[in-house]
Chains A and B, each alone.
Chain A
């Protein structure tokens, strides 16, 4: 098997005295699509946010393409907290789509998409604009290039947010409950876009979701979180149809009942 693109090593996270992640080991292979499921408060969102560096890691290490994300080696080879330059360099491999989109309200759709490529990656504006328009076309919103976020529906906003993350060409793309904030009738269009990206996909995906059917369809692997640990981890068919642990059985049962 190829080298994993992401490697969690005994990752622990506390919020003050509350432990949310307990010595988690986890790997993502290049191009692999992994869905994270589990009850709310089980740690799956924190798990993903640590990879995007939106939370401080308490203990353990995360490697991206063989480089430490939160740490650097000093002259003697010991780990020390990474400088912000090092963090930014390693973090540039990761992208994220948020539950609440977080588009820049003061920019048009196209500006939203090309802002980071130009400002952060230093790409040529013409090239970035072309790449941005290609992305907009891919998510079916080329006609909205000059609209402001306030003029879009929730589903359209999320599709723009996806295009904005994609144009940065991340090697790992995190989706944090991308459809949870949407009206039911808008969920489909967003899932469809995510699925088409997954199908094309060189990028690895880490997908936090409550849409089990979708997880089954898109993911190569599902990891079930409970109580700050990964309780089960395997192919969708095993996880969803042949759960081993009581906790996963309970979770799936409760989930089916509420559907």
Chain B
């Protein structure tokens, strides 16, 4: 096994260009996960017993089954019930829904860290339910959990190669395609690893700094 620098530099642009797919799948998937995660949390907190149990059941089910199986299901089984999705959409939905169940747990812990007194004083000052959430509870619940949310973002970014299993041509799939046509896998796969490292390591440092900043304030 010999490392060929010129070959590596030849294929680098092609693999790097597939990064845009990886990054956009991560960003769109994560936004979906954030929104859906908060919705799960609120549904689980519902005083309506049925809503509570149904939401709780769905979240547990999704959290305790593998992402890869869910991706296959969305991509290969959904068409049989009339929902045919392209690989990117299916992948983003799979990632987003799966991670929303983890984020829901994060939001829950953040919300529970806000004491009952804050709810009572919101009632005493006659806040509506909505304003209590948006002005009092969430602004206190979210900042302490931002580092955890950030870590999930990085974890999700590193899981995007799973989307190659449902034929999305992201960077791993691109590298494999190159390997398959040249029979040289060392350089393309190494480049994939390095690209992930180059992006996620600085991101984790950034989150660490954010964590310290937030700890200072609270």
Contact = CB atoms under 8 A, between A and B. Distances in A.
Contacts of B143: 106
A57 B130 CA distance: 23
Interface string A96-127: 10101010111000000001100110000000
A140 B136 CA distance: 26
B139 interface: yes
Nearest to B114: A105
Contacts of B66: none
A95 B127 CA distance: 12
A53 interface: yes
Interface bracket on B: 10 to 19
Interface bracket on A: 20 to 34
Interface string B168-206: 000000000000000000000000000000000000000
A42 interface: no
A116 B127 contact: yes
A104 B131 contact: no
Given A92-B126, A164-B125, A165-B124, A119 B117 contact: no
Contacts of A120: 125-128, 131
A2 interface: no
A145 interface: no
Contact of B127 (A54, A105, A119): A119
A41 to B, nearest CB: 19
Contacts of B127: 116, 119-120
A237 B125 CA distance: 34
Main secondary structure of the interface of B (DSSP, over half): helix
Interface in B24-83: none
A131 interface: no
Which of B124, B127, B139, B143 has the largest number of chain A CB atoms within 10 A? B124
B124 A54 contact: yes
Contact of A102 (B118, B128, B135): B118
A102 B135 CA distance: 14
Interface in A78-107: 84, 88, 91-92, 94-96, 98, 100, 102, 104-106
Contacts of B118: 102, 104
Interface string B102-140: 000000000000010110110111111101000110011
**9 A-B pairs closest in CB distance:** A102-B117, A116-B125, A102-B121, A96-B124, A106-B139, A120-B126, A92-B126, A54-B120, A106-B140
19 contacts: A88-B126, A91-B123, A92-B126, A95-B125, A98-B120, A98-B121, A100-B117, A102-B115, A102-B121, A104-B121, A104-B136, A105-B218, A106-B139, A115-B135, A119-B127, A120-B125, A120-B131, A164-B125, A168-B125
Interface of B: 115, 117-118, 120-121, 123-129, 131, 135-136, 139-140, 143, 218
